[in-house]
Amino acid sequence: MFYKKTLLLFALFSSLGQLPAFAQEDEDDADVKAAMVVTAEKREEAIKDVPVSITALSAEELEASGVTTVREAYRYVPNMHVSAFSNKRTNSTYIRGIGSGQGDPAVSVYVDGVPLLSISTTNIDFLDMERMEVLRGPQGALYGRNTIGGLVHYITREPGEDFQLNIGAEFGDYNRTRTRLAVDGPISKGKAYFSVSAALDERDGFTENDALGGEDVDYRDGTFIRGQLLFTPSDSWKIRLTAYSQEDDDGGFVLYSLDQLQANPFHINHDYVGSTEREIFSGSLSATYAGNGFDLNAVVSTNEMDSSEFTDLDFNPFDILRRETFEEEETTYLELRLNSSEPIEISDTVQMNWIAGVSSVDYTLDHSEANEIRPAATGLPFSLIDSAAYDLDSTGLGVFGQVSFTFNEDLDLDLGLRFASDDRQADIMIVAQTLGGLVEDTSLDESYDEVLPRLGLTYRMSEESSLYVTGAKSYRPGGYNLNTAPLGPYVYDAETGDSFELGAKSSLNDGNAFIAGALFFSSWDDRQLSIPSASLPGRFYLDNVADSETSGMEFEFATRLNKHWDLSSGVGVNFTDFGDYIDTTTGLNVKGNTLPTAPNSNWHLVLSHNSKIAEAYNLFGRFEYIGTGHAYYDNANTTRQGQYDLFNARLGVERGGIRIEAFVNNATDEEYWPIAIPGTIAPGFVARPGDPQTFGVGISYRR
For residue range 199-226, list pLDDT tens digits in order: 999 999 999 999 999 899 999 999 999 9
Tell me the pLDDT of the chain averaged across its residues: 89
pLDDT at 198: 96
Nearest to 124, CA basis, from 229, 243, 206, 299: 243
- Looking at residue 3, its pLDDT comes to 40
Q: How confident is the model at residue 84 (pLDDT cuts 50, 70, 90)?
A: confident
Measured CA to CA, the distance from residue 679 to residue 538 in angstroms comes to: 8
Indicate if the pLDDT at residue 486 is higher than 70.
no
Tell me which H or E stretch contains 626: strand 617-628
Cα–Cα distance for residue pair 148/548, rounded to 1 Å: 13
Rg (CA), the chain: 25
Predicted local distance difference test score (pLDDT) of residue 505: 95
Residue 7: predicted pLDDT: 37
176 burial level (CB within 10 Å; 0-12, 13-18, 19+): middle
Question: Is residue 12's pLDDT more than 70?
Answer: no
Give per-residue pLDDT as tens, 129-156: 999 999 999 999 999 888 999 999 999 9
Predicted TM-score (pTM) of this structure: 0.91
Q: Would you place residue 14 in the very low, low, confident or very high pLDDT band (cuts 50, 70, 90)?
A: very low
Binned at pLDDT 50, 70 and 90, residue 10 comes out as: very low
For residue 534, name the pLDDT band (cuts at 50, 70, 90). low
- Identify the pLDDT of residue 1: 45
Residue of higher predicted confidence among 403 and 127: 403
pLDDT tens track for 627-686: 999 999 988 899 999 999 999 999 999 999 999 999 999 999 999 999 888 876 767 899
Task: Report strand pairing: 208-209 vs 267-268.
Answer: parallel
pLDDT band at 19 (very low <50, low <70, confident <90, very high): very low
pLDDT at position 4 over 50: no
Query: Over pLDDT 90: what percentage of the chain?
Result: 65
**Which pLDDT tens digit goes with each residue over 385-397?**
988 899 999 999 9
* The pLDDT value given to residue 582: 83
> In the structure, what pLDDT confidence band is assigned to residue 16 with cuts at 50, 70 and 90?
very low
Please count the other Cβ atoms lying within 10 Å of the Cβ belonging to residue 535. 11
Structure confidence at residue 34 (pLDDT): 65
Q: What's residue 490's pLDDT?
A: 82
Q: Which domains does the chain have, with CATH numbers?
A: 2-702 (2.40.170.20)
pLDDT in the model for residue 538 = 60
Give per-residue pLDDT as tens, 335-371.
999 999 999 999 999 999 999 999 999 999 999 989 8
503 pLDDT above the threshold of 60: yes
pLDDT, one tens digit per residue, over 219-278 is: 999 999 999 999 999 999 999 999 999 999 999 889 899 999 999 999 999 998 889 999
**In the prediction, which pLDDT does 32 show?**
61
Surface-to-core class of residue 243, CB atoms within 10 Å of its CB (0-12 exposed, 13-18 middle, 19+ buried): buried
Choose among 366, 359, 340, 363: nearest CA to 351.
340
Direct distance between the N- and C-terminal alpha carbons of the chain, in angstroms, rounded to an integer? 34
Q: What confidence score (pLDDT) does residue 434 get?
A: 81
Strands (E), 486-547: 491-492, 495-508, 513-525, 528-532, 540-544
Mean pLDDT of 447-462: 95
- Report which residue type is found at 78: P
Beta-carbon contacts of residue 477 (< 8 Å; ≥ 6 apart): 104, 145, 396, 422, 424, 448, 450, 494
Report the C-alpha gap between 574 and 96 in whole angstroms. 6
User: Quick check: 26 pLDDT over 50?
Assistant: no
pLDDT class of 616 with cuts at 50, 70, 90: confident
Output 11 or 114, whichever has higher pLDDT.
114
Q: In terms of pLDDT, which residue wins out, 331 or 18?
A: 331
Mean pLDDT computed over 52-81: 92
How confident is residue 568, by pLDDT bands cut at 50, 70 and 90? Answer: very high
Q: What mean pLDDT is predicted for residues 572-590? A: 86
Question: Which pLDDT value is given to residue 552?
Answer: 96
